[in-house]
């Protein structure tokens, strides 16, 4: 049985997550942000469960989200060849969606045993990144772009817990295009041999929305975007991350 985000036990109204945070600047220097108003405040919804801490908001209006989607369709170049494949339990499969990586110069990100090099930021990706930073107070240096042509394209259960990621920085997920279901499943409640009975948490990610997956969400909860055969329209998802730069290099 899936738990929908509309249940009061999981969701509440909240302001922007304005707590003292520590950011990484481009020069690698740390800077403190006290409890100040961010320059782009939005009304947040808090989504919580055991070990799950997320914030959800509509970041862009429909008109602006439509324009951003069109611009990304023109700008983003998706991976081909080995970078368009994924390894699962030793077997190699084609990724059931289009995928691309962008970010600061020289950054790489390894998952499913494939290392991906960041392409240079496009103007539209920079614009969206800056909007997310103004809203959250967090700096991001890398983005994974996923394009789903329709409801057949999907993403299996996984956690964003790779060693390159800053564990204190949330994953910021921006959705553009067709709304799709997004499901969290606790690590102890997966499969037939599950240790506990914990209901999944199900969201619908709207056009122009922003979902923040805060720590420790990716430690305890897997997330997925399942097949939805009735969905016939495309969707682009942007997941902004902060990769820890090795300062010894």
Cβ–Cβ contacts within 10 Å for residue 114, how many?
A: 16
Task: Tell me if 235 is assigned to a ligand binding site.
Answer: yes
Q: Distance between CA atoms of 16 and 137, rounded to whole angstroms?
A: 9
Task: Enter the tokens of residue 244.
Answer: 């820890």
Chain length of the chain: 249
110 annotated to a ligand binding site: yes
Q: Is 239 annotated as a binding residue?
A: yes
* Residue 156 is assigned to a ligand binding site: no
| Most distant CA pair in the chain, distance | 50
**Could you identify the residue written with the tokens 């990724």?**
95
Phi (first) and psi of residue 114, to 5 degrees: -125, 125
Ligand-binding site membership of 222 (annotated): no
142 beta partners: 103, 241
214 is in an annotated binding site: no
How far apart CA 180 and CA 20 sit, in angstroms, is: 33
Is residue 240 annotated as involved in ligand binding? no
> Is 66 annotated as belonging to a binding site?
no
Q: Is 109 annotated for ligand binding?
A: yes
Check the annotation: does 219 bind a ligand: no
The annotation status of 119 as a binding-site residue, yes or no, is: no
Question: Is the Cβ–Cβ distance between 171 and 132 less than 8 Å?
Answer: no
The answer to whether 146 is annotated as binding is yes
Binding residues for 2-oxoglutarate: 146, 148, 158, 161, 223, 235, 239, 241
Binding residues: 89-91, 109-111, 146, 148, 158, 161, 223, 235, 239, 241
Binding residues for substrate: 89-91, 109-111
């Amino acid at each position: 049985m899936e738990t929908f985000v509309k249940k009061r036990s999981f969701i509440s109204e909240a302001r922007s997550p304005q707590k003292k945070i520590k950011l990484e600047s481009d020069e690698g220097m740390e800077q403190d942000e006290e409890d100040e108003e961010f320059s782009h405040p939005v009304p947040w919804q808090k989504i919580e469960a055991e070990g799950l801490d997320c914030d959800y908001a509509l970041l862009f209006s429909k008109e602006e989200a439509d324009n951003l989607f069109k611009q990304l369709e023109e700008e983003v170049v998706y991976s081909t060849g080995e970078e368009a494949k994924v390894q699962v339990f030793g077997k190699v499969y084609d990724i059931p969606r289009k995928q691309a990586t962008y970010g600061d110069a020289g950054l790489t990100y390894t998952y499913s045993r494939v290392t991906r090099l960041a392409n240079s930021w496009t103007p539209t990706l920079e614009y969206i990144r800056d909007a997310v930073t103004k809203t959250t107070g967090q700096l991001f240096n890398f983005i994974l772009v996923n394009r789903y042509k329709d409801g057949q394209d999907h993403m299996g259960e996984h956690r964003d817990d790779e060693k390159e990621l800053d564990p204190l920085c949330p994953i910021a997920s921006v959705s553009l295009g067709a709304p799709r279901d997004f499901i969290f499943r606790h690590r102890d409640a997966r499969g037939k041999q599950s240790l506990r009975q914990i209901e999944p948490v199900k969201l619908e990610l709207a056009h122009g929305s922003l979902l923040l997956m805060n720590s420790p969400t990716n430690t305890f909860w897997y997330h997925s975007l399942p097949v939805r055969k009735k969905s016939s329209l495309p969707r682009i998802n942007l997941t902004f991350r902060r990769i820890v730069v090795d300062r010894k290099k």
